[in-house]
Amino acid sequence: MLSALAVEAPDPRIAAAARGDRRAAEALCRELLPRVRNLVRYLLRGDARVDDVAQEALIAVLRGLGSFRGEGRFESWVDRVVARTTFARIRRIRAETQPGEHAPVEGAAGDELGGETYALRRELAAALDRLPTDQRESLVLHFAVGMTVPEIAEIAAAPVETVRSRLRLGKAALREALGGRDGRVI
């Protein structure tokens, strides 16, 4: 498993892919794709563009492999690349979207394959879809990508206290959306 290898020593496929080894790159992409798609979905409103953006993000990962120095987990590095790529896309989408126009908020559970975890994450994504973008981004970067508040502040070009505030508000909104019903989720 990619993550296990990455913790102990850099996965040799990373260097091989960076040198242009297609097999290694393909293997990495196949392993990373579910994670990348999930992160993109957390960041994007709705499902429509997930695969498109995930593909862009994988391209960015492959192109940036040479800059991965083996410091820290490979997956963490990938997450940051994916987040940056997705933000770039979100900004383009935002620039193209009329004020007040949003992608439809899609259903959470009930229409899907998968078990309870999947249903819960769909519900979480649907709740994120209803949050202001700034709060959503802060929550995902903090809880999914593992960024610290100062790191988020840097990427969001916002003061640290603003990010803290977004996190507080976002968490409260999520608690209301998810935990309010049965008091169990958060």
Partner 1 sequence: MGESSDRELERLFDLDDAAGPARPIDASRSAAIVAAALRGAGFPPGGGSSGGSGGAAGAKSAIATRLALVASGAVLAIGAWLLVRTPAPAAELPAAAPAPVVQPVEPPPPAAAPASAAVAPGASEDEAAPEPPEPPEQAEQPEQGDAPTAPPSPPARTRTRPRQHARVEAPRTPAEAADLLARANAARLAHDWRAADALYRRVARGGGGNGLAAQTALVASAELHLEHLGDPAGAARRFRAALAGGAGEALAEDARWGLAESARAAGDAAAERRALDDFLAHHPASARAERARTRRAELGAAP
List CB contacts of 17: < 8 A, sequence separation 6 or more. Answer: 24, 25, 28, 62, 65
Inter-CA distances, 4 with 8, 10, 23, 83, Å: 7, 10, 20, 22
Looking at residue 18, its amino acid is: A
Instruction: Measure the CA–CA gap between 167 and 149, rounded to whole angstroms.
Output: 9
Q: Please tell me whether residue 144 binds partner 1 under the rule CB under 8 A.
A: yes
Name the one range near partner 1 by CB under 8 A: 6-14, 45-53, 130-138, 158-166. 45-53
Name the one range near partner 1 by CB under 8 A: 6-14, 130-138, 164-172. 164-172
Binder to partner 1 among 6, 45, 74, 79 (CB under 8 A)? 79
Of 7 and 186, nearer to partner 1 (C-beta) is 186
Q: Which residue has the tokens 């508000």?
A: 169
Q: Please tell me whether residue 18 binds partner 1 under the rule CB under 8 A.
A: no
Helices 50-64 and 74-96: crossing angle, nearest 10°? 130
Looking at residue 21, its amino acid is: D
Surface-to-core class of residue 125, CB atoms within 10 Å of its CB (0-12 exposed, 13-18 middle, 19+ buried): buried
Q: Please tell me whether residue 113 binds partner 1 under the rule CB under 8 A.
A: yes
Name the one range near partner 1 by CB under 8 A: 8-16, 32-40, 130-138, 158-166. 32-40
Q: Would you tell me which residues interact with partner 1 (CB under 8 A)?
A: 3, 20, 22-23, 25-26, 29-30, 33-35, 37-42, 47-52, 54-65, 67, 75, 79, 81, 84-85, 87-88, 91-92, 112-115, 117-122, 124-125, 139-140, 143-144, 168, 171-172, 174-175, 179, 185-186
